[in-house]
Structure formats: structure tokens, C-alpha cells
Amino acid sequence: MACFGLYCGKTLLFKNSSTEIYGECGACPRGQRTNEQKYCQPCTDSPELYDWLYLGFMAMLPLISHWLCIEWNANNSNSRGVFFQQVSALLECSMAAVVTLLVSNPVGTLVIHSCRVLMLSDWYTMLYNPSPDYITTVHCTQEAVYPLYTIVLAYYAFCLVLMMLLRPLLVKKIQRHLYKTNQLENIYTALYFFPILTVLQVVAGGLLYYAFPYILLVVSLANLAVYLVFSQIESYSDLMKNDRLFILLSHWFLHAYGLMAFSRGQQLEQDLLLLTLVPFPTLFYFFTTKFTKPSRIIAEGSKRH
């Protein structure tokens, strides 16, 4: 029987020195994808740098969501308590990432085997099943981008489990020693955004794979501009107050991350040249802010009249 579907293939059932026996055409087992000859082949490649950057981006989403929720619910809470919760979120996500890598193939190591992502349709194989007009309907839905699709879902599951195990103990200790307000709202909020992130990965995982460098660049620049304006930072000395420098470095890190993903790490010299542009928006703001102050513009306008 011929394989008509884009992702349909024949699975190897038996092999010896002279004979190879393949099964009927259908979906390849997990960890395999079809080749040009319509035979299922194991995924033995190592992820490219761009794949690791994508996984890092998806891993940062729960952490950033945790930190935003902690800051949002902080109100007038003790800053030490907020800091400890943020550290707890970082620890939870880091442990979840390590555990996810350990349980992935090959099990017990921090490396993974993967299949190459060739095109956008690799993420949505369910939309490319053969037409029922053929003699036999064959369903070939599979993870052609193994394990980039399911490893993110496993990571989110481990993040949720570790949060439910570790965060209540930490919050209880913080409330006893630092403040009396209830800080469990952060856990309740996470129970909302984790399903949202899961649905986002299931529905738009392929779109995010190709779009996340642009998302990082736009979001980091927009957030940086808003932060500099509303924080009234007008000189380098203003950056040394409180946690402003840390926030600025965080924006620079996201911007550099997006640039690295955008270039795909193909040419080291070109990547290093791009990274030198990371502080440019901030420097441009410092050099031009004295000419764009609303008070100065109003004062000059009143002088003319």
C-alpha cells in the first residue's frame, strides 16, 4: 500500500542482515518521523541553537508570568517577602526544566534527541491527513517536531506540580516572619495562566516557533521605552536607584536574546556585531530626552508667544 499523506510512513517491524520488514502505512511512532521514501526514521539529531532558544523562550513565559503576578499582588508587602517568592518561582522553573530534560529521550541526561523542523506544517500534522477519498482512510497525526511540541507541555506540568509543593511552604514561612497578609493569591493566579500557556502551546506552538524572535524584540523595546518614560529616568545616576539597573539589564537580556534568535547563530561575528546594538535604544533616549521634555517644549512655546 502506498503512502499518500505528507506525514504517513511505514514503520520498521523486523530487521536482520539481509531483510527489512515494514508495516502498513500510517502514523510514525513517537520519536520518529517519515523520510522522503515514506519510511519512519528515529529522531537522532541534536536540537539546533534556534531550537534551544525557542525552548528557552517557552521556559521563560511561566517565570515571567510568576514574577508579574508576584509584583501585582505585592501591594505594600515586605520587599524581602516579594524577593523570596520571586526566588522561589525561579527555583521552581529551574528544577522543572532540569527534570523535564532528565525524563526526555535519552533518559537521565541533560541532552535531547530531536527531529529537524522543516516547515510550519510539521507542527500541525493533524491538518494534513490523507483525504477520505482514498480507498482506506489513514490518520497520520504525529509529533513531527519531536520533542519540541510535547516537551514544553511536560515542562509546564512539572512547573505546576513543583509550585504546588514548594510555594505554600515558603509562603507560610514568609507570612509568619515577615508580614501577615495572605500571599496565596500568586498561586491562585498561576492556576489561571498555566492553562492559558498550555492552550497557547497547543494551538500556536508552530507560529511561536517562527515568530518569537520578533515578539521578543518588539516587546523588549516597547517595555523599555515605557519604563524609561514613566520611571522618569533621565541620566545614568538615576539607574543606580533601587532596582532600576536590574530591570534595565533584564530588558537588555531579552533584547539580546531576540537578536540571537533572529540571526539563528549562523555567523558568530555577525551575532556579536548585533549584540553591540543592544544598549543603543537606551543611549539614544538619554541623549535626546533633554530635547523632548514636555516642560521644555511648553516653556519654549510660551517664550515665543
Least confident of 5-9, 111-115, 155-159, 261-265: 261-265
Q: Model confidence over 55-90: pLDDT tens digits?
A: 999 999 999 888 888 877 766 555 666 777 888 889
Round to whole Å and give the CA distance between 299 and 204. 50
Q: Which residue reads 535531547 in cell numbers?
A: 112
Round to whole Å and give the CA distance between 65 and 194. 9
Round to whole Å and give the CA distance between 5 and 126. 11
Cis status, amide bond into 147, omega within 30 of 0? yes
Q: Model confidence over 220-265: pLDDT tens digits?
A: 888 887 777 776 666 556 665 556 677 778 888 888 888 888 887 6
CB atoms within 10 A of CB 227: 15
Round to whole Å and give the CA distance between 138 and 161. 37
Q: Model confidence over 85-121: pLDDT tens digits?
A: 888 889 999 999 999 999 998 999 999 999 999 999 9
Backbone dihedral angles phi then psi of residue 271, each to the nearest 5 degrees: -65, -45
pTM of the model: 0.85
Q: Model confidence over 267-302: pLDDT tens digits?
A: 666 677 778 888 887 778 777 777 766 555 555 555
